[in-house]
Each structure stands twice: as structure tokens, then as C-alpha cells.
A and B are shown apart, each in its own frame.
Chain A
Amino acid sequence: MKNLAIIALALLPQVALADGVQIEGNVQAKCIIRTDRTGVYGNPTPSKLSASPADGGVTPSIRYDVALAGYYIARITHPTSFSTSPTLTDTVTWTGGSSVSNVSDPDMSAYDADKVEYDATTEFDLTVAGTTFFKVDSAAEYGFNKAFPAGTYRAIIQADCIAK
């Protein structure tokens, strides 16, 4: 009888622990920016650097994940200057833009039609929850058919996610 009572007492804390274990979750509005693929500038002509695959480059890709629809705006600014380069004595003309490359929801296909462009910036209203991949085109031309000096060139893309 005494042994039975001891065993019963020993079991009590375990029962209490098993009862208290739970997992909680919380879904809230949030935005995640991922650098899916960084870019590479190809050099198709001496005066041009381009991230287009047609020019031997690799187009950068940025992934946005939003947990809830309609809470954020994606704002992507393509480069307008080099962050790293040899000394350049002539002007550089920049072109570029951003567009949707892949989506997790077919409704996101409207993002491209609804995007707003100004200066070097493109804005997308993230009206659908899920994942969107944006590709960023970028090209730089040096002077008037002038050859870029040899060296390493880098430029930075600004990817913003702004609560509405």
C-alpha cells in the first residue's frame, strides 16, 4: 500500500508537465526581404556594363515575402552610381528597372501592370499575401562609346519594404 502511494506521487509531476506543453503561434503583418540572387555585370562592349543575360550578365533577383495582404509596398531602386569602381573621368549613363519574375499566387501577376515608376525607383503594392520575386535590370554606358577602365565595378540595389 505504501509503495503504491509513492509511485502515485512520483507520477503526479509528469502528468502536470504533459498537460502544460503547448505550442503557440502568431500570424502578423510582416515583410521579409531576401537576396535571392546577386547580379553580375557582363561587358558586351568596351563602353557597356549590363546585368542582362543577353549581354553576358546575371540579372539580380530579390524575393519579398509578406504574411498578410495589403500591408506593405515594395520599393526597388536600381543603381545610379558605382559603389566600387576605378577612377572614372567621363559620365556614366544608367538605365534599369524592376519587374516581377516569379510569384506564389497568380493574382500577383497584376503587380507589373500596376507598378509605379519614378526616377530609378519602382513601387509595387503588395496586395496579395505570399512570395514575389523581382528581377532588377541594370546597365551602365560610359561616355560616348568610351571604354570602361579595367577594374572591379560594383553597384548597390536598394530594396525597401514599407508599411502602408
Chain B
Amino acid sequence: MKLMAAAMALSATVAGAHEMTPAYPQLRQSSVPEIMQADLSLFNARDDVEYFAISVLDADWKPIAFASAQRVMHVVPGGRKDFEVYIRQDDVPRVVYLCTTSMLRAGQEDNAIVSSRICSRLDGEKA
């Protein structure tokens, strides 16, 4: 059989972690009227990922408009980043999830084949 390079970038012991807290952030009034703010923290221990995208979603996982200093954050491996997300007061009743997703670079030749996403809930305490 002809040789086929069908590798998913072998690595037997790839270490890396993606962590986001808190699980249930509290929305609070920002310095701008009618804009609410949530404060979160992301820790990146993934060697293979440096960028994380922020998304805000409703109960059906549909996107909701939000603002943040960076929609895609650069967090170096081993680094922690505190970030804020701003949501319109009118959208607050619809908001359920606030997620960060690891971004894999196109054509990346290393081990990044697992895209991780962690979602906190903005609709109050644990259901």
C-alpha cells in the first residue's frame, strides 16, 4: 500500500489546558448608561494555542451583540488574562452563555486538533 501521510500530528503527551472563571459571572452596571459589564478571567496552559475568541450566546446558541477590548484575545501559553464583556441592557434578558473558544491557526503543523470551548452562564445562579 502506498504510503500516505495521514498523520494528525502525533504527540503522545501533549499537555495543555484552557480554563475560564467564574462559572456564573455577575452582570453589573458599567460606567456607560444602559451597558452591563461582566468580568472574567482566562488561563491558557495550552502550548499549541495563543488566541481565544469570545462569544455571547442566547439559550439557542445564537450570537448576541457584545463589546470587548478584544474579540479575539492573545493569551500566551502559561498566561492569564482578565477581560471584560459589555452587553446592552436590552439584551440582558436573552443572554445565557459567555464562551471562550481556542483558535486554531489554518495550516498549523503542530498538535492543535482539539478546539476547546468553555462557557459560563450569565443568566444567574446554577439552574
Contacts and interface: CB of A to CB of B under 8 A. Distances in A.
A84 B114 contact: no
A32 B19 contact: yes
Interface of A: 28-43, 45-46, 49, 51, 58, 60, 62, 65, 70-72, 83-84, 148, 150-164
B21 A58 contact: no
B1 interface: yes
Interface in B100-127: 104, 106-107, 111-121, 126-127
Contacts, number: 140
A158 B24 contact: no
Among A42, A58, A65, A162: residue with most chain B CB under 10 A: A162
Contact of A38 (B5, B111, B116, B127): B111
20 contacts: A29-B24, A30-B23, A31-B20, A33-B114, A34-B45, A35-B46, A36-B13, A36-B15, A37-B12, A45-B1, A49-B6, A62-B114, A148-B4, A150-B3, A153-B6, A158-B117, A159-B114, A159-B115, A159-B116, A163-B97
Interface residues of B, number: 44
Given A29-B23, A37-B12, A163-B126, 11 more contacts: A29-B24, A32-B19, A34-B15, A46-B2, A150-B2, A151-B4, A152-B7, A154-B113, A159-B116, A160-B116, A163-B24
